[in-house]
Amino acid sequence: MKKICIGDKFQIQCYKHNGNVHRCWEEAVVLEVNKDYIVCGNNKTLVTRSEGVSWRTREPAIMYFFKNEWYNVIAQLKSDGIYYYCNIATPYILEEDTIKYIDYDLDLRIFPTGEYKILDRMEYKYHKKIMNYSDDLDIAIKNGLDDLINRYKNNSEIFSSDKNYNYYEMYENIKRYNEIHNF
C-alpha cells in the first residue's frame, strides 16, 4: 500500500451497511498521519449524495479518520465557533485515492457552547432492523458512541480549538503552495 503523506489528496466515500454509497466528498487534503488516525482538511468541497444531489460545503472542515475506532470526527470551523459532527462509523480503509467507511446513522453533535446531542436514534433503529445489524455490530456501534463521548468529556486533543485552527492554517498553506506550483 502507498505511504500516505502530508499534502496528499483523497476523495471520501461514505457507505451504508447494505453496501450502497451514501455520500462522497470530492477532496480531503492530508494534514497529519499518525499511528492511530489521519487528519484531513477541506473547504467548499463538492459533496454528492447517492440520489445525485450535490452541494459545496459552506465552511472549512478538519476531519479525523481513525484506524481502529468506530467513529470519525469533523470539526466545522464556522463564524461563531467550532461545531463537531461525529459519525458513528467503521474504522476507515484506503483504496487507491479514496478514504472509505460505513456510516451507522448515530451522530454526536457538539456545539461551541460545550453542549452535545446524540442525533438520529430513530434512523439507527430503523436501519438496524431492515439491514439486520448483528448483536456484535450493535455492541461495537454503542461502544463507539460511548468512547467518543468519553473522549470529548476528557478533553481529547481532537476537540482542541487551537489544534483545529492550526490544522486549518496548515491546510491553507498547502493549498496556496499547490496553487503556486500548479499541483
Q: pLDDT 10s per residue in the chain (183 long)?
A: 568 999 999 999 999 999 999 999 999 999 999 999 999 999 999 999 998 899 999 999 999 999 999 999 999 999 999 999 999 999 999 998 999 999 999 999 999 999 999 999 999 999 999 999 999 999 999 999 999 999 999 999 999 999 999 999 999 999 998 888 876
Among 23, 56, 58, 176, the active-site one is 23
One-letter amino acid for residue 180 of the chain: I
Active site residue 23: yes
pLDDT of residue 19: 94
| Helix locations, the chain, DSSP H | 121-130, 135-153, 161-180
Tell me how far apart the alpha carbons of residues 130 and 113 are, in angstroms, rounded to a whole number. Answer: 36
What's this model's pTM, rounded to 2 decimal places? Answer: 0.95
Q: How many CA atoms lie within 13 A of 33 on its CB side?
A: 9
Tell me how far apart the alpha carbons of residues 145 and 157 are, in angstroms, rounded to a whole number. Answer: 17
pLDDT of residue 179: 84
Tell me how far apart the alpha carbons of residues 145 and 18 are, in angstroms, rounded to a whole number. Answer: 21
Q: Give the closest residue to 100 by CA, choosing from 6, 10, 168.
A: 10
Under a CB-based contact definition with an 8 Å cutoff, are residues 110 and 29 in contact? no
